[in-house]
Amino acid sequence: MSDQFTMEQEEIFSKVMRAGRRTYFFDVRATKAGDFYLTITESKKFTNDDGSYHYKKHKIYLYKEDFSEFKDTLDEMINYVIDEKGEEVISERHQKDYKKETDDMEMAAEPPSENGETNSNSFTDIEFDDI
């Protein structure tokens, strides 16, 4: 067994955060010298057409010398997003009754008339001044 494999396996403290199709793993690990560092792993589940699934993982290694600046920058970015957009999730994909936009558009679309044209009443006139 290689030293790299042994080092990766030594977890001192771990937490898991589930968020929809994503799972975040926060792991405190030890360096060869016995110091601690943090790994943050994002794991996202993807389902194949045949029903089988696989995971894609992304990992960040965060060392103690970067903790303070990382935390400050993360806090700043989080505060910016909340100040600009609030805490309410406005993404349709995160709402329980979300339907794909294409499904809604297909259901709302009117079939073409006999001459192949769509009903002009189904469109909204937009002036360039409105944009």
In the chain the domains, ranked by start, together with CATH numbers, are 3-94 (3.10.450.700)
Q: Is the pTM of this model over 0.75?
A: no
pLDDT of residue 120: 47
Q: What share of the chain is helix, strand, coil (3-state, %, to 5)?
A: 35, 30, 35
pLDDT of residue 11: 76
User: How many beta carbons lie within 10 A of that of residue 41, not counting itself?
Assistant: 14
**In sequence order, what are the residues at sequence separation of 6 or more whose Cβ sits closer than 8 angstroms to the Cβ of residue 62?**
37, 38, 39, 40, 70
pLDDT of residue 4: 54
Between the CA of residue 98 and those of 34, 90, 102, what are the distances in Å?
A: 48, 11, 12
**Cα–Cα distance measured from residue 53 to residue 49, given in angstroms and rounded to the nearest whole number:** 9
Which mean pLDDT values do the consecutive 10-residue runs of the chain (131 residues) have?
53 92 94 93 92 93 97 97 90 59 51 51 49 47
